[in-house]
Amino acid sequence: MVYSVMTQEAAASTNVPTQRHRSHLVGVAYLGTIGIVMVVWIAGLVWGAMAFFNWLVS
């Protein structure tokens, strides 16, 4: 019984740092930027392939 009370007191006195929302928003912004860059890169590759094959056929 004493051990249980001691662990509860130790757990109650522990300071748990709160999550910062700013770092979460920065992470979401980085992921969004990477996603947009990847979509633009793939669209450029598709456009280049279409232009190349269009030139090859004509």
Task: Give the CA diameter of the chain.
Answer: 88
* Residue 35 in tokens: 């996603």
pLDDT at 22: 76
pLDDT of residue 23: 82
Q: Give residue-wise pLDDT tens across range 3-35.
A: 555 555 555 566 666 666 678 999 999 999 999
The pair of three-digit structure tokens given for residue 20, joined into one six-digit string: 């910062």
For residue 13, how far is the Cα from the chain centroid?
33
HSE-CB for 50 with a 13 A CA cutoff: 6
- In this predicted structure, the answer to whether residue 41 has a pLDDT above a threshold of 70 is yes
Whole-prediction pTM: 0.56
